[in-house]
Chain A
Amino acid sequence: MIGILNTIELVVVAIAVAALATAGAVTLIRVAKGPTSLDRIISSDLVVGIVVGGFALHVVLTGRATTLPIMLAISLVGFIGAVAMARFVHDQVAVTPEAPRRLRRRRGGSEAGSSGADEGAPGTSGEPGRVGEEGS
């Protein structure tokens, strides 16, 4: 009876390992082809979660508690990459190729005294080109 239960347990955990490996592979597809970098960011976040799940399955398979601190550490710092990359994406979008041209034109028009006035210009002027790029 107990032997049968143990066998069933092993089979079930093996299926879980296969499912988790498939999930990781499928997520990597999105990391590879995600059209925007934000897609890649959330996909790699999901990869981190799947790795933590893999450690959990390892604990269940082997019965050893040595990987528990690793799970803790990964879930503690896993989000920092996503946050840092998201901030970086914002800067990248705000400075678009046509922004400096418009900035220069506006500076030429209203003299060089109001440098602060042009600060908001790159973000707004970058919209159409960026959106068009996203569509492709």
Chain B
Amino acid sequence: MIDIELVDAVLDLFAALLCLFGAAMCLTAAIGLVRFPDLISRMHPAAKPQSLGLLVLALAVVLHLRTWRAALLMLLVATLQMVTVTLASHIVARTGYRAHFVESGTLVADELAPVVHRDRKAAVTGGRRMSAGSGGPDGGQTGGAAEPSGPPSSDPNQETP
């Protein structure tokens, strides 16, 4: 009897320690977000330590409640977190690069630059070609950009490198 209560207390303590670790991870993410110099650096703490912190906090909740319902819900939360953080980071990085929030001097290797440059060129000349009558060879790369009737600012959105 006493033994089971002791196990409960130890599990709760373990959950509390996991809570501390998860909160420390979130604090690390926040400090990194404030201290890092530019957008690409800041995306790193906003995505990775925060995800780890949230996963550990979910594990702490499961360890504290010790029910299947909580385990299932926290598994769902963790999965959704992994998926949505990836998605949001991808969109932010893509927008940041194409809107020139990223200074190319800070990058060691920039393999996206030729592709984006080529797509931009193709968007301009391809549109010209489209209005002249031919589809152009760059249809696969700049599918949306080759449409002459699209709104002006939505063209770069539809390029996929």
The chain A residues found within 8 Å of chain B, CB to CB, are 1-2, 5-6, 8-10, 12-13, 15-17, 19-20, 22-24, 26-27, 29-30, 36, 38-39, 41-43, 45-46, 49-50, 52-53, 56-57, 59-60, 63, 65, 68-69, 71-72, 75-76, 78-79, 82-83, 86-87, 89-91, 93-95, 113-124, 127, 130-131, 134
List, sorted by A's number, 29 A–B pairs whose CB atoms are closer than 8 Å.
A1-B6, A5-B9, A6-B12, A9-B13, A12-B16, A16-B19, A19-B23, A23-B31, A42-B39, A42-B46, A42-B92, A43-B46, A50-B50, A52-B54, A52-B57, A53-B22, A56-B22, A60-B16, A65-B69, A65-B70, A68-B61, A75-B81, A79-B85, A90-B99, A94-B156, A115-B148, A116-B147, A123-B156, A124-B120
Q: In the complex the two chains form, is B152's CB within 8 Å of A94's CB? A: yes
Using Cβ atoms and an 8 Å threshold, which residues of chain B touch A52?
54, 57, 77, 81
Whether the Cβ atoms of B33 and A91 lie closer than 8 Å is no
CB distance A91 to B57 under 8 Å?
Answer: no
Q: Which A residues lie within 8 Å of B5 (CB)?
A: 2
> In the complex the two chains form, is A42's CB within 8 Å of B33's CB?
yes
Shortest 5 CB-CB distances between A and B: which pairs?
A116-B148, A79-B84, A120-B124, A120-B123, A16-B23
B71 to chain A, nearest CB (A): 10
Interface string of B138-158 (1 = CB under 8 A from A): 000000010111101111110
Tell me the complex Cα distance, A89–B152, Å.
Answer: 15
B contact residues, range? 35 or more
- By DSSP majority rule, is chain A's interface helix, strand, loop, or mixed? helix
A-B contact number at CB 8 A: 256
Q: Which residue of B lies closest to A5 (CB)?
A: B9
Contacts of B65 in A (CB 8 A): 59, 63, 65
Taken together as a complex, chains A and B put the C-alpha atoms of A30 and B124 apart, in Å, by 37
Query: In this complex, what residue of B is CB-closest to A49?
Result: B50
A23 vs chain B, min Cβ distance (A): 4
Nearest A residue (CB) for B43: A42
Per the bound structure, the CA–CA distance linking A72 and B72 in Å amounts to 11
Q: Which residues of A contact B120 (CB under 8 A)?
A: 120, 123-124
By the criterion CB–CB under 8 Å, are A12 and B131 in contact?
no
Give the dominant DSSP class at B's interface. Answer: helix
A43-B26 Cα distance, complex, nearest whole Å: 12
Are B152's CB and A82's CB within 8 A? Answer: no
B residues in contact with A122, CB < 8 Å: 152-153
Max chain A Cβ within 10 angstroms of own Cβ: one of B5, B53, B91 = B91
Q: Are the CB atoms of A75 and B10 closer together than 8 Å? A: no
